[in-house]
Structure 1
């Protein structure tokens, strides 16, 4: 309001109100403490306002307003919304501080010089000290935080490199490490002293003097490298390199270098120098897939470390800074030059003589490369099976990232028994019966976990896994699945079929020796493995129901809808056939056979956890009936050699045409095991399926020791039982009974000659001409969907 009045054009009011306006705008506390500043206005000298006047905002010495002035004042009065509170500052506190400072630190000292505290440089120094102290405090706090987050040095013993795939047995034993894994570990006393000194001379001359970080060595390395215009010495100590190898990555950043230094010091506090050296020399990467001096000696010179020459030792010691650049296999000239630098450093360190240096430098860079040795692999066929299975459960990105640990279900005790039994089978039975290969799979029936797997007689000679990759004709073992379909369709094990000559659409099933035995019950025909009855049962059940149920039970290979399907004409592998019989052991519940329990990534996260749920594919009563029938195979049929002394066994033998494949798949309630014997080139054997049954017993009799005895389910009530699946009988176009199909495809009446049925006798295949060429059985991807 005062400002508005001061701008009014009325001369009568301008003078008097200008005084109040000028006073309000300019009045403030005096900075020197000697009074108030006063605004001089024409014709009026204002006096200081009282506190009440200031609070109420009353103009001092204001003349009474005229009517026009009052109107203008009212018009220019701001509304409540536009009022702004004016805050009056109290400077008395600052005045007191100023007065104290002037008294304490006068501008001039007694000698007449300017007081230090009055100089700008003093306050700049105070600022620098304050900022520097804060920075040092922050650095100290950061280092403490980093040090507290350092890994446990004890974890070094369990270290596996990035990219290493580790496959473990159920008890944690490493079966296989694939990738850049530490392969052969040496104790320090096994490493030549000159080789150790070569690494110290070129990588860390003051190794025995520093505590993990060599600050003197850093400056010396910089100077040496500048003078030589080459990488003569490294700045990182051996301990720092070990810290980087085990716990850190190879990124180039200040933070990583700080962590490396802190970790190196921690390693030195917890390990002695010899322990540091031993770990370093076993883990350092030396190029061409070689990790550690033992691998490098083999990769570059095909010899153990204790046979290396001084020149060869110097060659290896020169590799760590740039393994590819200094590799004698990749760049021999650079490797030789680097070798000579190492020898010069060894001479400077007085660990070799001048004569030794000259002799070593004069030697040519002779290399004799070999592939890196790998860790001893246990259960090699199973380990390779796991590696093939991994992409089913783990993403491509996870596989490429590497560093995975795969925990499996393999029981190493069972595995060792299985390997020995298969070895004996080939070496003893195979020589007499003409087969050179064998395979075994054992599965825990209620979980589907693979407990043992042997894929061949000798993994070193052939890595082809006959348990998972070889597709072979199952022979009569497939009858077990045909009869399962019949029982599930409501058939009775006592239903009878005539074992006699019959031709379905030009196809004639024959028993061994073309002998027939008349009417047989299904249970009896299965125990005696009668071919004709099996085909007739298949015709009555139908192709589609049989194939569908077989797939539901675990068969993944393609099954052809032909009459010979009942006799095992469609090829399968041992694992899937054993898995299908495992469904019967589990009382009709199918669980896919698998060997992987968990997969853990490099960070320790579980990225896959097996969670296979049982699926009811055969009704419980039907599973109990077929298990009872298969027990008859062992008790009174072709599977007698598989019988165990302390518990019942159910199973089925199988022999393909000309005994090319010898099978036995058997189970107890807890475990199902399958065995195959034969030749890769399909050459006929002179054996019988009873040999497979015998070796099944050799394996199972050992693994069941201490295992609780469980009884099979009792045979359910058969009267009035209804099936759980619907039969879809085959409708043959032409059926001929009582006739025999001759070799020229003509038919003639059957002349019995003898009426006895030879249930398990094998006829010598006679002369056989070896095929001109043979290709190893190719692995076929399992068929997932079926129409």
Structure 2
């Protein structure tokens, strides 16, 4: 009995001593313990996601990939897999597993090493949120105390949810949602048991046990997870056997971006950083919704890239990227065949086996749609190629017959007749894969391009492509490249002329200008392109045909300084507008964004809108923390308070809006309507083809392909064709297309006829109508598909009268010599034209169409 008594006293003493020691230790380190109350409001570091207006993911920014999930979104099988592996008694213990600690302590005594951590899931939450991963006794003690606090603060499900969303699982994936996407490209509810077991095995050593870096280790760890699930009854024997036998299929999956829009995404990233700061932007889990329309963005990307390839094809092939061998052999053998032949691994120089070729190609990154390939053999009209990704295929003659030699931007060699004139075995080349599965030879374009589309009613950016490929160049040509605009400037000069009492029927002499410049000691002789002059010409026709000398005459009529000031109404910086008459020919350097914004004034009836990209920003809970309030173009709205009577552009009383929401009116609705009418003629032309007076505008290709009467636009080409432009619109969409070389010394050159290509090929010198317009047409075809025509409504104060085509005066005849023309009320002609013959300056169908090929 004494022995029992003393043993009880000793036990109680030890217990009290231990308890006091624990209490003392707690109060000793309590000041160093973080406040676990923050877990109630803890916001997990989640990347910023950028979406289109219709919810398509454009990009994701942030160091950590995380997809926060609620417990009900996580499959029970995944929960059981983690519990079986990490802490099966999780729902039974108070945050510390005494049995696990005893087991770890015994292991330490037996081996002298810290092989088992005995950390419960709650303790891992404490470590992941508040502590480091260093293996020290003090860190373990802090884990224990923090775990007690956490268990008092949160429910078991709340703790488990934090754990499954926080835990690092390799390849920047944090939490099971991100891990499912990174390793399998799936959501958690789409995973198989085998895949779940792989993810559940990662917490022990994510960098070593993941299926990408070490499939064998991942398989062994998966077996352990499945075995534990079987032991605790979470799965049956049949499920275990099936999952354990499954192959390891994990591979890296990037963020599941729905639309490729890197230039747009970078613009958003910069704006969000300026708004929220870099740390908050990358970790706050914000969802940013842009004004981008996914249909339009996809169309813009295809239009820009496709147009650059088309330009590249007609200018010739610059040759292989690299030649890997040169002995001319067409034969390849595998390394296995070489061993059977007891020979070197190559009848080809330097041992280029199929295995070595594919290994080489795996190290060459694709460029957009271009895939690296190596030519294996060449026949008369085909080539066998090895393509990155392990594909051996045949490239047909139709995929490479375009590839005549490139000589210069102005000259190309003869069309090839055999495949051997184009490629050789050993050539590393670029290829494109088409929807039908056929391959075609390609090359990375040396020219570059840009396209931007705006909603003219509020300035929302609906599509933007800043260059051929963001991987090659992050330079955003839409917002950063200031290039000479050529004839894209003319509509604004004509707008100034209309403001200065000209009309679309005003007659200006299309005749050469020869002006002596005493300072330069030379004569300035601006010329039409081509150098064809038609004498007295109506303004509508002059703008539609892009007459250079008439643009100069209008500049002189308005006055250079007055014109420069007038152009600022469209958002142009007066300091960037030349102080000489070359302004009339487009010597000003502007960005595509500035040009598109200016054309939007015509499209929306006279208002200057501001381009914007971010519509709204939501926090992770879906609360809107930012909502854009763009200024809108609204002809039927009036600001509050109403305008004064002496305002330049009075507006009739209608729907009242806040002044901050109404875009400023910069030209009258009548002026915008008349310019649009003239630019519609640039697309559709005029006259009567039946009677021999028909003529084409510079953008006649748009009429032929789009077949819409609601479009208007203007081509633009600079001196020596270093820049080509097209800007066009209807009342719902405005877009500007540009193409040129980043190297300002190069011009777009010319293309001769290729005997291997069809009748529709573009030849001759490159101009806006040939080089920039095709991208605009392709974009508009897709963007406007299914939409009804949206013609600009005729505003009040516009009248229509029949005029004589030759003189612009009132017409007595109602035949092909006359037409109805629009005028601002009070500016219409009051005298009749005398009876005359047909206009001697009109040309026939064939000759005028040939001229239009070369017009600005």
Q: Does 1:386 align with 2:276?
A: no
1:576 to 591, 594, 604: 594
Distance of 1:242 and 1:429 partners within structure 2: 59
Partner in structure 2 of residue 232 of structure 1 = 117
Distance 1:615 1:675, change over 3 A: same
2:584 to 566, 586, 596: 566
Q: Give SS of 1:425's match.
A: helix
* Structure 1 residues 129-152: Cα deviation after superposition (integer angstroms, max 9, x where no partner): xxxxxxxxxxxxxxxxx9xx999x
Task: Give how far 1:641 is off.
Answer: 1.3
Question: Which structure has the bigger radius of gyration?
Answer: 1
Distance of 2:303 and 2:611 partners within structure 1: 22
Asked if 1 retains the 8 angstrom alpha-carbon contact of 2:459 and 2:610, the reply is yes
Task: Give how far 1:616 is off.
Answer: 0.6
Asked if 2 retains the 8 angstrom alpha-carbon contact of 1:441 and 1:453, the reply is yes
Q: Does 1:263 align with 2:280?
A: no
Distance 1:313 1:177, change over 3 A: closer
Correspondence 1:346-745 to 2 at 5 A: 373-376=254-257, 378-380=259-261, 381-391=263-273, 399=281, 402-432=284-314, 436-493=447-504, 494-503=506-515, 505=517, 506=520, 507-512=524-529, 514-555=531-572, 558-602=576-620, 604-613=622-631, 614-636=663-685, 637-643=697-703, 644-681=706-743, 682-686=746-750, 687-691=766-770, 692-704=772-784, 705-707=786-788, 709-713=790-794, 715-716=798-799, 717-718=823-824, 720=826
Q: Give SS of 1:512's match.
A: coil
Distance 1:598 1:295, change over 3 A: closer
* Structure 1 residues 150-199: Cα deviation after superposition (integer angstroms, max 9, x where no partner): 99xxxxxxx995341111111222222211234899xxxxx9x9x99996
* Root mean square deviation of aligned Cα: 5.4
* Structure 1 residues 370-408: Cα deviation after superposition (integer angstroms, max 9, x where no partner): 999443351323222322333565567854763222111
Distance of 1:685 and 1:508 partners within structure 2: 23
* Structure 1 residues 262-300: Cα deviation after superposition (integer angstroms, max 9, x where no partner): 4348x7xxxxxxxx8xx9778632466333589889999
As a proportion of its length, which structure holds more strand?
A: 2
Distance of 1:539 and 1:230 partners within structure 2: 89
Distance of 1:646 and 1:166 partners within structure 2: 37
Task: Give how far 1:758 is off.
Answer: 8.5
Distance 1:252 1:566, change over 3 A: farther
Distance of 1:172 and 1:242 partners within structure 2: 37
* Structure 1 residues 535-574: Cα deviation after superposition (integer angstroms, max 9, x where no partner): 3323433444444443432446933333322222222222
Q: Give SS of 1:176's match.
A: strand
Residue segments in structure 1 that go unaligned for 5+ positions in a row: 1-145, 152-158, 186-190, 268-275, 330-338, 352-369, 723-754, 765-787
Q: Give SS of 2:483's match.
A: coil
Q: Give SS of 1:615's match.
A: coil
Q: Give SS of 1:467's match.
A: coil
Asked if 1 retains the 8 angstrom alpha-carbon contact of 2:66 and 2:177, the reply is no
As a proportion of its length, which structure holds more helix?
A: 1
Distance 1:223 1:544, change over 3 A: farther
Asked if 1 retains the 8 angstrom alpha-carbon contact of 2:676 and 2:712, the reply is yes
Residue segments in structure 2 that go unaligned for 5+ positions in a row: 1-36, 70-74, 109-113, 131-142, 184-190, 211-218, 232-250, 317-444, 632-662, 686-696, 751-765, 800-822, 829-846
Distance of 1:232 and 1:648 partners within structure 2: 73
Asked if 2 retains the 8 angstrom alpha-carbon contact of 1:583 and 1:589, the reply is yes
Distance of 1:452 and 1:544 partners within structure 2: 35
Distance of 1:547 and 1:397 partners within structure 2: 44
* Structure 1 residues 639-664: Cα deviation after superposition (integer angstroms, max 9, x where no partner): 11112424332110011233232221
Distance of 2:527 and 2:515 partners within structure 1: 10
Distance of 1:492 and 1:620 partners within structure 2: 15
Q: What is the aligned residue count?
A: 527
* Structure 1 residues 109-137: Cα deviation after superposition (integer angstroms, max 9, x where no partner): xxxxxxxxxxxxxxxxxxxxxxxxxxxxx
With normalisation by structure 1, the TM-score equals 0.55
Asked if 1 retains the 8 angstrom alpha-carbon contact of 2:602 and 2:676, the reply is yes
* Structure 1 residues 27-55: Cα deviation after superposition (integer angstroms, max 9, x where no partner): xxxxxxxxxxxxxxxxxxxxxxxxxxxxx
Distance of 2:147 and 2:204 partners within structure 1: 25
Q: Give SS of 2:590's match.
A: coil
Task: Give how far 1:577 is off.
Answer: 0.9
Q: Does 1:317 align with 2:203?
A: yes
Distance of 2:222 and 2:169 partners within structure 1: 15
Task: Give how far 1:586 is off.
Answer: 0.5
Task: Give how far 1:638 is off.
Answer: 0.4
Partner in structure 2 of residue 219 of structure 1 = 98
Q: Give SS of 1:616's match.
A: coil
Asked if 1 retains the 8 angstrom alpha-carbon contact of 2:486 and 2:585, the reply is yes
Q: Give SS of 2:734's match.
A: strand
Q: Give SS of 2:117's match.
A: coil
Distance 1:161 1:640, change over 3 A: farther
Distance 1:204 1:315, change over 3 A: closer
